[in-house]
Each structure stands twice: as structure tokens, then as C-alpha cells.
Amino acid sequence: MVPFAGYSMPLSYGDVGQVASHHYVRTKVGLFDVGHMVQSNFRGKTATEFLEWLTPSSLSSLKPYSSTLSVLLNDKGGIIDDTIITKHAQDAFYVVTNAGRRDEDLSWFAQKLEEWNSGDRGKDGPVEHEVLEGWGLLALQGPEAASYLQGLTSFDLRQLTFGTSAFVPIEGFNLHVARGGYTGEDGFEISVPPSQTVEVAQLLSRPPVQLAGLGARDSLRLEAGMCLYGNDLDETTTPVEAGLSWVIGKERKENGGFIGAEIVLKQLKEGPSRRRVGLIVEGVPARQGAKIYTPLGHEEQQQLGVVTSGIPSPTLGKNIAMGYIQSGWHKKGTEVAVEVRKQLRKAVLTPMPFYKPNYWRG
């Protein structure tokens, strides 16, 4: 167990090491306890407009029981948090945010709700925010996840494609099941009421399912090219710099209307000064904080950026990393140098994801 975002979290289970656990999720099926994440409901006649003010996503065009990755932005276009938003009905949304940003997010929601509900925009109907305190969240991930879960339900899981969700009967429980996850594999995130969490976790962790901890979760998400808040994203990083421009809706790119729009739209038009990139590093792995320089043998060694996440990839057998680099140096195939243990190592900019995802798209 390790401290993480104010919680005590399992890094690994029993004598199954991080790499073995990683491989098991890639080839079979693992279960992650992600109940530390903050689950919320937003409801009200103007809930869509409210969340479209807080994020740059097109939520009005989202179909019921469909999800999108999004970002909460501050006035400067910086990312307060990344989030998954699921539309349940025209005026009801289920939102999952990060545990490490709980205080900042909840305070931001409260402040903005007060502004919204007391102003002109909320007069058509106030928005309510409910935090699902104590609810469990379990992520069943891996190529065998669907066949295992299908054995526990009469619901045809083939109908549930990546990025959609449904309330699914599972052995007498009626649970919110979203197809997706944070590993690059097919899988499901299952929200569970507090009184049922232990029982459902026991049900979902029978063989062949193996419990998986934070260690494997980190290496799986980095291979899949996914950001970790606090490492790869923060309040000084915009979605354009982070390579997340795709979360910005087409009409939002034209009309704005969201907090931080001025800076974000300017960057979309003119390009940002730095960009998130993937790297393959020779020799030894580069970790968070490692500096990225001009290539080895370059006349004048100057710093171009910094690594934000890095590991030896268990699946690929290479040292992979993610970081930010000056625009102009961000093209794939570009050679740079990364400082690891006071020595410059050759690195090559590589497109992400490093590992091709296996999502179920029907």
C-alpha cells in the first residue's frame, strides 16, 4: 500500500510484481480499484450549458449514455483537471474527476455554480451538483474482460461500444457500466453504491481475473499515451499544448464561449510554444523531470523541454517517455538528447500511443 492523492492505495497485490501484473492485463484480465476517483452528477435544465462553460467540449451534441474525455479550464486556458463526462439525459451528466484534484475541483464547481445559478444564465433553471460520496469504482481491463463480465449478465455487452455506458444487471446488482478505461485495452469502469462495493469487487475478482495495482496502471496508461494529472497536465498547461485539441468541439473552436477560450483559440490559430511528445530513450529510462536537449553532437547544447513521465515499457521492451518540447522540435523522428543520471542519452520523438489500443468499437 502507498499514499496516493490522500488515499492509501495498492501498488501491487501479493507477490505479483508490477511487470507481471502489467502483462496479465495486456493478455488476460485485471481488476483495478479506482474508488478514490471523484464521481459526480450534474442535473438541471441548464446543465449542458453550464458544463459547456466549464469545458471546451460539445456536450449538446453528445448522445445519451455516451462519454467524452474533457478538461476543466481556468481563465488562462490552463487545465484544472482532466475528466470523463457521460451524458445520461438531456439535462443530466455523470462526471468523473481525479482524486488528487478533489479539493480544487469541488471548490471550482461550487464557485462556478454559485455564479451560474445567481446570474442570468441560471435563470432558465438552476444546476445541482451531487458528489457520490463513498461510491466504489472498479475497472475491469484486458482482452478477456468482456467474456468474463458477459458470464455475469444477461445484457448483451456487444451493444456497449467504446465510450458508451448503460445500467447493467450483474448478478442481482444494477450497476452503471462504462466501456473504456485507462489501459489501452478493452474493458469496463463500473460504478458501485457504497453498500455493494465489497461484494461486487469480490464477484469481479474471481479467477481468471487478477487484482492489479497502481504500478501496473501507470505503465499501462503510459504505453497507451494517456496523461496523468500532476505529471503530464497541470494548471499552466493548455489542451493545445497537451495534444488534447480533439476534446474541443468543432463549433466551440469557432464560437468559444468556455472559460479560457481566448487563449485556447489563439493557440489553435497560431500554434503553441511547446507541445506534448512521445520519446524512445536509448540505454536507460528517463523519469519525470529529466531535461530534453538538442541532439548529441549539436554545436550548442540547449534545453528544449522536460520529461513528464517515463518507464521501461514492459510490452515493447523499450524505454518510453512523454514530455513537452519547444514547437519546431516536435516532429516525429526528430533526434534529441535526454539527461539521465548526469549523462546525455539519445532519444527519438515517437508518435503516441506507443502501444496500439484494443478498444471494442463493435
Q: Which residues are annotated as a binding site for substrate?
A: 189
Q: Please, what is the angle between helix 102-118 and helix 47-54, to 10°? A: 130
What's the rounded Cα separation, in Å, for the pair 137 and 66?
18
- The CA R_g of the chain, rounded to the nearest whole Å, is 21
Do you know the residue count of the chain? 362
Is the distance from CB of 211 to CB of 7 less than 8 angstroms? no
Q: What is the DSSP letter of 73?
A: E
Q: Which residues are annotated as a binding site?
A: 189
**DSSP string over 181-234:** -SSSSSEEEEEE-GGGHHHHHHHHTSTT-EE--HHHHHHHHHHTT---BTTTB-
Is the distance from CB of 357 to CB of 187 less than 8 angstroms? no
Q: Across-strand partners of 349?
A: 279
